[in-house]
Structure 1
Amino acid sequence: MAEPRVPGDDPGTLDLPCGETLHAHDLDMGMREISCDCGDNHAIVVDVHPISRFVPEAIADVLRETIETDDEFPEFSMPHVMGVVMEEFPDEVAVADVAEDGHVGYALVWVTDFDSRRLHEIVVELLVELMDHAASHGDDATASQFEQQMMNFDVEAFVEQYREERNFESEVDTPV
């Protein structure tokens, strides 16, 4: 018989922003979104997801090469991306550290109050801001060129095209 859980007493328990509770054992690495009892869909991200979930690998490579980390992660990766999201939306992201739980296959899991498409847009917006900030520390020509290119950049159109190309509509990419 399953043991009842009290929210917060288990490191794998996520108290979602919508008020519902979810456990990391209810999720797997292939899930990108879940239908919640609250009636909304919530995006799911685990630390082993590549940054290329959100942006092309060439951009992920540039981010890894140019951003120095000073934590336990050897290079810029999904925990950093989700850290930026949490910084902007602290009340809309639940996170669980399940590194000690050998049953799940990942160490960190985030569940957002928004669906996977909206999270994708947010991540792209935040990465563009991060790149803009980095470009501003370079020479004036580079910063100006980047700003010009970003004026014509349509996040929604990019996300739409990228999701189509990446085929994010498989059986594991829809809400469960």
Structure 2
Amino acid sequence: MAAPRVPGSGGGDELELPCGETVDPHEIDLGMREYGCSCGDTHAVVTDVHPPSRFLPESLVVVLRESIDTDDDFDEFGTPHLLGVVMEEFPDQVAVYDASGDGAVGYALLWLTDFDSRRLHEIVVELVVELMEHAISHAEDDAAITEFESQMLEFDVSEFVDQYRRRRDFESEYDQPV
């Protein structure tokens, strides 16, 4: 006898994770930041509805949105772009699921990484700093370039992530942007 299911709930959709295990995307809810996998590892979970301020201060997100033109289906720079950069650097360590045709999940895109959520956070910050370094290298203001470079010498990604995650209270589903 067939098992009853909710219409549109998928059934049979599987996402292969970087570790080789599979997960039904319908098991991932919008509040999840990590997935405890049967492989024994914890994988970061990100959906397109998670704001970029999950990783970066809102003031920096505003600057990125004002500075970066997107040539895609998204209205403005956001989480899909951040994860796109991560995928570009780590193509074999990020699995992505397109749920745009699946109204049962609450998101259009899902990413699960080979990293836990803290390591993913560090990677996102490192890649945004690289993006900023590249952008400033094209500036015609030598003083601005020198100032940026000196600030980056003092910037500790790991410490930033620790402080940001403490301020955001990632243990609560009610965390707020900084």
Same-fold status (TM-score > 0.5) = yes
Structure showing greater radius of gyration is: 2
Q: Give the secondary-structure state (helix, strand or coil) at the position aligned to 1:101.
A: coil
Deviations 1:14-46 (A, max 9, x none): 100101001210001110001100000000000
Which moved further from structure 2: 99-108 or 164-173? 164-173
Q: Could you tell me how far apart the structure 2 residues matched to 1:66 and 1:117 are?
A: 26
- Normalised TM-score (structure 2): 0.89
State the partner residue of 1:109.
Answer: 110
State the partner residue of 1:6.
Answer: none
State how many pairs are aligned.
167
Following superposition, the deviation at residue 82 of structure 1 comes to 0.3
Q: Percent identity?
A: 63
State the partner residue of 1:136.
Answer: 137
Q: Is the 8 A contact 2:31 2:173 kept in 1?
A: no
State the partner residue of 2:147.
Answer: 145
State the partner residue of 1:119.
Answer: 120
Following superposition, the deviation at residue 171 of structure 1 comes to 6.1
- Normalised TM-score (structure 1): 0.90
For the pair 1:28 / 2:60, whether they are aligned, the reply is no
Q: Could you tell me how far apart the structure 2 residues matched to 1:16 and 1:27 are?
A: 13
State the partner residue of 2:159.
Answer: 157
2:64 aligned partner, one-letter code: L
Q: Is the 8 A contact 1:32 1:172 kept in 2?
A: no
Q: Give the secondary-structure state (helix, strand or coil) at the position aligned to 2:97.
A: strand
State the partner residue of 2:46.
Answer: 45
Q: Could you tell me how far apart the structure 1 residues matched to 2:174 and 2:15 are?
A: 21
Q: Is the 8 A contact 1:31 1:172 kept in 2?
A: no
Q: Could you tell me how far apart the structure 2 residues matched to 1:111 and 1:165 are?
A: 24
Structure 1: unaligned runs, 5 residues or longer: 4-8
State the partner residue of 2:97.
Answer: 96
Q: Superposition RMSD on alpha carbons, in Å? A: 1.8
Structure 2: unaligned runs, 5 residues or longer: 6-10
| Distance change in 2, residues 1:144/1:81 (3 Å) | same
Q: Could you tell me how far apart the structure 2 residues matched to 1:13 and 1:108 are?
A: 14
Q: Give the secondary-structure state (helix, strand or coil) at the position aligned to 1:114.
A: coil
Q: Could you tell me how far apart the structure 2 residues matched to 1:95 and 1:66 are?
A: 26
